[in-house]
Structure formats: C-alpha cells, structure tokens
Amino acid sequence: MKRTILGVMAALVLIVTGRAEAPAAIQAGASPLDPAPIGKTVAGIIECGRGYTSHELYDMKITLLEVVRGEEAWKRIKEASAANKPAPAGSEYVLARVRFEYFARGTPGLCIHELSPGQFMAYSADGADYKAPSVVPPKPEMRRRLRSGESWEGWAAFLVPQQDKKPLMSYSADAGAAIMHGGGRWFALY
C-alpha cells in the first residue's frame, strides 16, 4: 500500500507541475521527491487520542543526525548483540541516528507518544519498501514513551541493496497509535 501511495504522490506532482521533481513550495522532507538531508530538522503535527475522547495536537520535529552504512554499520550492529547476523549477499546495513522532539500545542498535553522503530522505514527512490532487518540496533534505539516537551535521540537500522546509493527513510506516526497530519516525513539516507 505504501508503494502505491508513493506512486500516486509522484504522479500528482507530475500532473500538477509538469515536472518530475517536487515544487519549491513543498517543505524539504514532506515528500519522497524532496527528502530532507542529514542535519535538516523537519516539522510535523501528530494527533493523539483514542475513540471518542478529545484528540489533541502535538508538534514534532525530527532531525536525521548521522548515517552509517556498510562495513561500519555492520561493525556497530555486531557490537550491539552477538545474536545479530551479517547482511545477506547483495545487501548491507544502514544505521540512522535520529533526534525526535515532541511538544503539546495546548492543554492538557497529557498524551504520551509511543516512539518505536516500526515508525521508521527505508525505501528506494522509486518507492520500493525495504523490509526491516531483524537486528538489535546500537543503543539507544528509537524506542521511547515521550511526554510533551521531551526529546529522544536513538538509532534505527535498515537493510538495503548495496547498489541503492540513495535510499530514503520515512517516519510515520500512523504506524503507532497516533495520526500524522500531512503524511509522513522523508529523509535522505546518504
């Protein structure tokens, strides 16, 4: 389904602009056609609440701080757990160190955001999703219960084909119990 969404987004940009790239008005990181580079902070809005309870809006900021790939990534993954296995032939690990910030827009601001590795996915530039590897990433990992005003830095691990020199990372709160306004956020893993 995510693959279809990426294709539809790319087609809409092409239809609307007549170009295959994202229009300048779109914030870097808001589209896979214009992923945020390492070091760029991308903002978004998360809606928190369940069922018929009052839903609250929260601002979030994500910054991709560092990307480690190939042999160095494998070295760090191997040090994280002896149970981790080398990448299959033709593939390699990519580690992303990410900072996530979470702030209530109003009161009471009591929703806790369940940050988890499953909210981070790797994709090719043409929208193919890469399966998450079954590895223990370096500490700290991207797993934390965040209250308003808190932030967290941690590692996410991905497995990508060696020939893909420009993989992408997406973040979507929709993979948890929250709703992401405006779709996921996109980052260049290179």
The yes-or-no verdict on residue 85 having pLDDT over 50 is yes
At 106, the pLDDT band (50, 70, 90 cuts) reads confident
The yes-or-no verdict on residue 163 having pLDDT over 80 is yes
Residue 20 pLDDT? 53
Q: Quick one: tokens of 43?
A: 């903002």
At 179, the pLDDT band (50, 70, 90 cuts) reads confident
User: Measured between alpha carbons, how far is 112 from 121 in angstroms, rounded to an integer?
Assistant: 22
Domains observed in the chain: 2-188 (2.60.40.1240)
User: Measured between alpha carbons, how far is 161 from 174 in angstroms, rounded to an integer?
Assistant: 26
User: Measured between alpha carbons, how far is 80 from 98 in angstroms, rounded to an integer?
Assistant: 17
The yes-or-no verdict on residue 115 having pLDDT over 90 is yes
CB hemisphere CA count around 8 (13 angstroms): 6
Contact predicate 129/190, CB 8 Å: no
Q: Which of 145, 181, 167, 173 is nearest to 38 (CA)?
A: 167
CB hemisphere CA count around 171 (13 angstroms): 32
E strand or H helix at 171: strand 168-171
Q: Which residue has the higher pLDDT, 18 or 161?
A: 161
The overall average pLDDT reported for the chain is 87
Dump pLDDT digits (tens) for 126-154: 999 999 999 999 999 999 999 999 999 99
**pTM of the predicted model, to two decimals?**
0.82
How many Cβ atoms are within 10 Å of 87's Cβ, its own excluded?
20
Q: Quick one: tokens of 56?
A: 């609250």
The yes-or-no verdict on residue 19 having pLDDT over 90 is no
> Any idea which of 7-16, 27-36, 48-57, 145-154 has the lowest mean pLDDT?
7-16
Contact predicate 159/91, CB 8 Å: yes
Contact predicate 177/46, CB 8 Å: no
Q: Which of 115, 119, 126 is nearest to 164 (CA)?
A: 126
Residue 174 pLDDT? 80
At 13, the pLDDT band (50, 70, 90 cuts) reads very low
Q: Which residue has the higher pLDDT, 89 or 108?
A: 89
